[in-house]
Amino acid sequence: MTETAKATVTAADAAQVRAWLDEDKILLVDVRETSEYEVEHISGALLLPLSSFDPELFPSVPEKKVVLHCAVGKRSEAAGKMLLKEGHRDVVHMEGGIEAWKAAGFATEVQILPPDAQKPKPVFMCPPPGRVLQEEYLDPLGISPRELALATGLLEGRVNDLLAGTSPIGVEASLRLARYFSTAGDFWVRLQLEHDMERARHSVGEQIRQQITPRTAAM
């Protein structure tokens, strides 16, 4: 039996989770659906609904333990098992969920939205490559879009579109940026792919899961 198969999702009670939150030791992740979160949620909890939960894109916070929670503890345990299968370690979920949290006398937040208000936008973990380019390369190095265009042979308008996120990075632009910044040739185009895949998972991932049965499960 493999280590992953042996691993189990650790359960923590509401009191322990509250103590960790007070000490700023954890990232609390709510795996309920958006509609449930809007009605009531624990302050500071990050919403990652189980219906679009993707272990491959789960946030990694080295300095903090990640604790999952749902309404009564079933969905958070299921999400924890998904993370274990993906190779994550030290997976914790809150036993009894938000109901146990309230039963212990701990406060929750109620979000009151106007009737015509839009639903909260999903949380994206993979930033567009233009943001990475701006925040991690151009800003620290003091390089302007015009200077980058001249150095890489890209049109200045093309560079501005990349930075604004209105134009995707293709393979040629990826190679030019990789040459200039000494990164792997596919680094920039992979950032684009990861960003596009994450947005697609949020927009049509659940629809695809509903419509398509994996071949192995159908046999």
Kindly state whether residues 103 and 145 are assigned to the same domain: no
| Paired tokens of 86 | 């993906």
CATH code at position 76 = 3.40.250.10
pLDDT, one tens digit per residue, over 158-184 is 999 999 989 999 999 999 999 999 999
Residue 199: domain span: 129-211
Is pLDDT of 186 > 60?
Answer: yes
For residues 40 and 98, the answer to whether their CB atoms sit within 8 Å is yes
| Paired tokens of 72 | 């009564």
Is pLDDT of 97 > 70?
Answer: yes
For residues 100 and 13, the answer to whether their CB atoms sit within 8 Å is yes
pTM: 0.50
The domain boundary residue, chosen from 110, 137, 168: 110
Kindly state whether residues 104 and 149 are assigned to the same domain: no
Strand 46-47's sheet: what is its strand order? 10-12, 92-94, 65-69, 26-30, 46-47
Mean pLDDT of the 98-105 span: 92
Kindly state whether residues 205 and 168 are assigned to the same domain: yes
3-class SS of residue 7: coil
Kindly state whether residues 88 and 143 are assigned to the same domain: no
Which pLDDT band holds residue 1 (cuts at 50, 70, 90)? very low
> How many domains does the chain contain in total?
2
The domain boundary residue, chosen from 57, 81, 110: 110
Contacts (Cβ under 8 Å, ≥6 apart) of 110? 39, 40
CATH code at position 185 = 1.10.260.40
Percent of the chain with pLDDT over 90: 49
**Given this model, what pLDDT does residue 115 score?**
59
Kindly state whether residues 149 and 97 are assigned to the same domain: no
Kindly state whether residues 181 and 151 are assigned to the same domain: yes
pLDDT, one tens digit per residue, over 136-162 is 999 999 999 999 999 999 999 999 999
Kindly state whether residues 88 and 21 are assigned to the same domain: yes
Mean pLDDT of the 89-101 span: 90
For residues 31 and 75, the answer to whether their CB atoms sit within 8 Å is yes
Contacts (Cβ under 8 Å, ≥6 apart) of 204? none
Kindly state whether residues 17 and 92 are assigned to the same domain: yes
Kindly state whether residues 101 and 186 are assigned to the same domain: no
